[in-house]
Structure 1
């Protein structure tokens, strides 16, 4: 198992290859290799130039098999990621044709098989692979991906249709790292994911211009012209559709043959020179793999050296959670001998800590947080083994999910098979009963219905009104085949590959043995569903090996997390993401609708599915990781000098006939735990201490001039504990209704959100709020403004909602007006006078607590001798700003003698 990367059309660029290869070191920590071809054109920087890079995870023939591997005549060069499990048979066939081998690796078999049979060799391989072959003799570069797409292969054209420049790799990150392709979202794929919860069903990725080869596809590049063609090297899908019509009757002999083939598939995948273990969820599929390995060990079968004296199993468990499968995993472990069971306990705390790396690992959004359980299992497994078998793929070929039952029943109805329809319907009543009871319970709850369609911005969604998604409704096997190659399995295989390779593990999936799958689809439908039991042939083939509680399981859980429980525990983190400036600024969703839906979900007032919120979270985090440039907004200047204005603002202003110079001070983020007076006075001291090195103009504006300290009421309220995170505010129906009648501002100021309205109700009571609202309506008819606040009190006017562009608590909290602002002003003045030298404080005129924003300025409290009108006037253009400038305080110097 390895990682590959390469290019066509960029000359001999070793540095480019090294950049790409450095991104996939985790896929192959055991070595690296490079190959640069000579151009076949006079222009050595474009046509004909090929570069190949490889990272090796040594599994078979560790002493040899290094890549890129070059043929004996130097004409064929291979880089290869994967394992071909029938390589011994192919080697023997090739030797019979007169070929000689210098290694015992499957890599050399792949190379020589191509030399012998060309691209027809790919269809002979039974295994998993993503490969690139430079064929100098035929003047072509060939890329190929295995029959089921177990191993990935991404590509992009950084050139044009007529002058292609191709990049390819096992992951997307190497392609983006070249800088040749801009990281931009593919909005069509994004919409389909958000709206229909699907992905990986087409060749397109979430990145515009980055594609992938689909299962069983190859790309052939003409080295002379750069023109490339994508085609299928196999008819496997068509073969399965043809075999599905054979319908071999389901008999005990069929069960025996399936057991033999399935066991052999597992045995082949135990071939390794490094330790091999198994992932065990507790479900039927992974348990079948574990008990089959156990039987092979007891029979002392050949080729099990890598398993060791004990089989290592790895399970994710969630004690006391509704979807915990530990009891089933324990049952499988109990029937095995010589087993070393490892249990991993993912938690919401660990998920929170790993979230960014998990998103980075997946590279593209996924439909739920479920694969995080697999991520945790792989991280632990890597400490003990290098190869891991699991049960991936069984659900998609043997009807592991409830919707398959309905497809089968509709098929029987359409075929007119009344007897089988009646039998299967009655045998499946318990499944339908549980499903129906769950749905009826949801309908009877009276909860508000929520769907992703209600959360997306209408104008954006309208662009994709032609998009749709559907499944094959009434043919069981065709539905399964469609899910194997497009609708379901590709995404699961992506998770598997990303999670295993993140921790330098090779994942092997015995259910996706090509010959086993072909045999299964040649059987009658009864091998898949019979008498209400799905996976019937697997259940029958493992009876006597598996405990009955697993063989007779009806409930499907899967390798997942208790997402509903976790999201409630992680609500603070989720709120912060939903209330961030970046989330607010995306053109895809309505943030207010999302916040309302999430709050209602937490309070049990709607029927929202956590996967709706996960998709929104995942897209936001994906944007931050891969798309956003990590550039500060235009109104932010990191490390701003104390002696310059905020961007877009002026230093000087005239108020009350006096010219004032304002210096906004950039600070750390204030929190509830910040001691206000010491912190503020320390920033003032910093300003004066730095004056000797300040520009001459600043020194002249400061020296000998009366000065004042103006402080944002926001940081005062925060440090007084009068700022409340939205997740701590229990919103009443009255607050929700009343807030809808208030004009909402982009700045989040006022009572236009349920949280800020609720805080106002808590502060003065609902009757006064209602009275003020009624008076306001009357006042509007009379042409009066401000009536609401005249009735309710101007302290309510100072309530700020959560402002998405702010830093710290202000971005996700509702803030009351500060308490006793005059007292606060005096305490801050006293702290400044105590800290600064007497010659500096001699001209200090005091402190003002300001509520300054783009809608107006209010002097909430002060201890200066200036008229409030003058103080307000010096701040009428809001020099501190309300964004992420982190300038919540200013020093203001009167350049003329102030009127006191």
Structure 2
């Protein structure tokens, strides 16, 4: 796990100043404290920061191929590098190191850009081909590892593992993209098709780009996709056996490291499954760590402790309290762009805890998206069954009317909150799911905006990109399309961004075995009744893990890694909620200076939350993080 940055001249291959590349790499030194290198040639500059995991003493970067005709920058891990190394060696390749970086170079020289389909792992890399005078940029299938790029006015393209690497280049303009605010308020993060800064792009997951001197920047080319269009045949028992085999292989392949290794353990199904399989494969106690909360209803640390005791792990735990709000500026700097997933705070804390004893930690991320584990998947599956039984015109008339009449009651017990379900049944499957996954809906966003911002936004709406993603999914059902969009839109934009930045901030490598692409491709072919059954998501995964885990772990209501932001913003942080509205009114703070948000409506929203009439905690947290992020970016 590392970080890299570079400069490529699209037009004339002018000399590149090594000091400029070095400054870009210094901005992401946290990603790689163990080594540093810069290489330049006419029209290209490449810099690398290394976190040593495999072949600790060797594999410095930028790395030259054996014949010196290609140079590599690499961030990530290739889990099948030993098998590829043996195959390439049998075909005449010569290796001088014991790591996976040199294998990528040899694979490129053997198969060209098509080598990416042979790689199993998490990765972003850049290869400069001195013969072709071209630069290959690649991002892994699911987008575990990030890659930012931007064209500059001097004809160069800069790229790096984090936005802060690009921001270290003096030629990057720091101008806010107004449409990114609409995207951010809708989703709680800036999705991969946009950046907070105009002119900055993110290479999409599963895409590559080949740049050449003297040629315009091409569009990214997709090299991997997942299909939900086929259904695997076989008994549940046979599919369960195949699933366990794939999970074992995914976990054990990610236990290869020349440094201490452990796991995050929340006590939920996914992390407990990973720890169970690690314990099965390990000759010594697995090192595990977890984070608890001082709000008992949201604290899962007792479940984590039970799993740790069951598998005899070396376990550590720590409590997160409202006092951790003081770390908000650290979070802002960590993510660069505004990022409002409140679980980023405990994720960072658990990464800090893990780094005290290990350099690599396995997580349970990805299973919910792959196996339909979110509550919204269960609702989507059930609502689609109703939609299939009632003509659209009748649904829209009956359920739409009932939904508009039914009172909205955030304070009521969940069974009495039927308004959303009624409205969803009146919508299309895609519209309902898009609404379910968004943080701040269009009506509430419109209450926030001033006329000035509405003019800047025009007819753009953040939801359209997600709707388009669902519409183009290779899928059979609404559930298929929902999971496809989760994997392609939500996962890289939110979940994987959170884990990458939080872990790299403390120089920790996080590995996600349940995002092994073979496991993802297998899960996409499962019949729906093996994903959602009896009101439960992840049915096959849970049933398969009964040989390892107790039922009250597997089948208890999903809780998730949730920070008690709602309670904090009504208690010790209520002043922060009121401050957001006050600054918008008096022009203070970054949001106030921007002038795009309505202070009167902001104040009403804050007071409704503090009084308990509504739950606006996610929106208030969004606004708080947006304000701090604009200050960090230096654009407001």
Quickly name the TM-score band, shorter chain normalised.
0.7 to 0.9
TM-superposed CA distance for 1:600, in Å, is 3.2
Paired position in structure 1 for 2:605: 597
Corresponding residue of 2:232 = 247
Partner in structure 2 of residue 212 of structure 1? 202
Measured in 1, the distance between the counterparts of 2:164 and 2:566 equals 31
Asked if the contact 1:249/1:523 (under 8 Å) is kept, the reply is no
After TM superposition, give the deviation of residue 316 of structure 1 in Å. Answer: 1.1
Q: CA deviation at 1:522?
A: 2.4
State which of 546, 553, 567 in structure 2 corresponds to 1:543.
546
Distance 1:157 1:316 in 2: 41
Partner of 1:102: 96
1:350 and 1:319, CA in 2 relative to 1: closer, same or farther beyond 3 A? closer
2:379 corresponds to which of 394, 403, 406: 406
Distance of 2:290 and 2:628 partners within structure 1: 27
Secondary structure at the residue paired with 1:543?
helix
Of 605, 614, 620, which residue of structure 1 is paired with 2:621?
614
Distance 1:226 1:34 in 2: 25
2:449 paired residue number? 456
State the secondary structure of the residue aligned to 1:206: coil
When Rg is computed on C-alpha atoms for both structures, the one with the higher figure is 1
Question: 1:570: how far off?
Answer: 1.5
Deviations 1:712-745, CA, capped at 9 Å, x for gaps:
xxxxxxxxxxxxxxxxxxxxxxxxxxxxxxxxxx
Aligned to 2:17: 13
Q: Residues 598 and 11 (structure 1 numbering): CA distance in 2 closer, same or farther, change over 3 Å?
A: same
Task: Give CA-to-partner distance per residue, 1:221-240, whole Å, 9 cap, x none.
Answer: 112x0422233352323xx2
In 2, Cα distance between the equivalents of 1:332 and 1:527?
A: 25
* Cα distance in 1 for residues equivalent to 2:630 and 2:107: 42
Residue of structure 2 equivalent to 1:314:
289
Aligned equivalent of 1:512: 515
Compare relative contact order (CA 8 Å, sep 6+) and give the higher one, 1 or 2.
2
The whole-number CA distance in structure 1 between the counterparts of 2:519 and 2:233 is 14
Cα distance change on mapping 1:129 and 1:516 into 2, 3 Å = same
1:200, 1:535 → 2: CA distance? Answer: 28
Kept after mapping to 2: 8 A contact 1:3/1:28 = yes
TM-score with structure 1 length normalisation?
0.61
Kept after mapping to 2: 8 A contact 1:28/1:504? yes
2:48 aligned with 1:54 = yes
Q: Give distance in 1, aligned partners of 2:193 and 2:34.
A: 31
How many angstroms does 1:548 deviate by? 1.6
For the 8 Å contact 1:442–1:607, the answer to whether it is kept is no
The Cα shift of 1:466 comes to 2.2
Partner SS state of residue 100, structure 1: coil
Q: 1:173 maps to what in 2?
A: 164
**Aligned-partner Cα distance in 1 for 2:620–2:271:** 29
Alpha-carbon distance change, 577 to 612 in structure 1, aligned in 2, over 3 angstroms: closer
Number of aligned residue pairs: give it: 576
Verify: 1:355 aligned to 2:362, yes or no.
no
Q: Is 1:394 equivalent to 2:384 in the alignment?
A: no
Candidates 399, 408, 415, aligned match of 1:436: 415
1:622-641 aligned at under 5 Å gives the runs 622-628=629-635
Judged with a 3 Å threshold, the aligned counterparts in structure 2 of structure 1 residues 493 and 156 are, in CA distance, closer, same or farther, namely same
Q: Is the 8 A contact 1:32 1:67 kept in 2?
A: yes
Q: What is the root-mean-square deviation of aligned Cα atoms in Å? A: 2.4
Q: Residues of 2 paired with 1:618 and 1:497: CA distance?
A: 18
- 2:273 alignment partner in structure 1: 288
Which residue of the partner structure matches residue 354 of structure 2? 381
Partner of residue 26, structure 2: 22
Distance 1:177 1:235, change over 3 A: closer
Structure-2 change in CA distance of 1:171 and 1:441 (3 Å): closer
* 1:587 aligns to 2:595 (yes or no): yes
1:62-461 map, 5 Å: 62-159=56-153, 164-194=155-185, 196-197=186-187, 199-223=189-213, 225-237=214-226, 240-241=227-228, 244-297=229-282, 300=283, 309-337=284-312, 339-352=313-326, 354-412=327-385, 435-438=414-417, 451-461=444-454
Q: Using the TM superposition, give the Cα deviation of residue 541 of structure 1 relative to its aligned residue in structure 2, in angstroms.
A: 1.8
Contact persistence 1:396–1:489 (CA under 8 A):
no
The 1-side partners of 2:530 and 2:498 are apart by 28
| Equivalent residues of 1:331, 1:547 under 8 A apart | no
Note closer, same or farther for the CA distance 1:435–1:123 as it changes in structure 2 (3 Å cut). Answer: farther
285-294 or 28-37: bigger deviation: 285-294
Q: Is the 8 A contact 1:200 1:486 kept in 2?
A: no
CA distance in structure 2 between the partners assigned to 1:167 and 1:552 by the alignment:
48
CA distance in 2, matches of 1:386, 1:214: 27
Q: Deviations over 1:236-280 (max 9, x none)?
A: 23xx23xx4233244201101100110110000010000111111
Maintained 8 Å contact 2:578/2:607:
no
User: What do the CA deviations read for 1:61-95 (whole angstroms, capped 9, x no partner)?
Assistant: 11111111101221100010000101111111111
**In the alignment, is residue 557 of structure 1 matched against residue 550 of structure 2?**
no
Specify every segment of 5 or more residues in structure 2 that has no aligned partner in the other structure, as ranges. 391-411, 423-440, 472-476
SS in structure 1 of the partner of residue 320 of structure 2: coil
1:145–1:217: 8 Å Cα contact kept in structure 2?
yes
Secondary structure of residue in 2 paired with 1:317: strand
Q: Which range moved further: 492-501 or 175-184? A: 175-184
Q: Alpha carbons of 1:26 and 1:358: their partners in 2 closer, same or farther (altered >3 Å)?
A: same
TM-score scaled by structure 2?
Answer: 0.86
- 5+ residue gaps, structure 1, are 40-48, 301-308, 418-432, 444-448, 630-900
Shift of 1:413: 5.3
Q: Aligned in 2, Cα 1:117/1:315: closer, same or farther, shift over 3 Å? A: same
> Distance in 1 between the 2:59 and 2:231 partners?
42
- Mapping for residues 689-700 of structure 1, pairs under 5 Å: none
Report the equivalent of 2:396: none
Q: Is the 8 A contact 1:372 1:560 kept in 2?
A: no
Deviations 1:84-121 (A, max 9, x none): 10111111111121112111100111111011100000
Matched-pair contact (CA < 8 Å) for 1:578–1:617: no
Matches of 2:301 and 2:16, distance apart in 1: 54
Q: Displacement of 1:152 after TM fit?
A: 0.2
Shift of the 153–204 alpha-carbon distance from structure 1 to 2, 3 Å rule, reads: same
1:407-442 alpha-carbon deviations (Å, 9 max, x no partner): 32354456679xxxxxxxxxxxxxxx9743345799
Correspondence for 1:33: 37
**Structure 2 SS opposite 1:522:** coil
Measured in 2, the distance between the counterparts of 1:487 and 1:388 equals 22
Stretch deviating more after TM superposition (459-468 or 364-373): 459-468
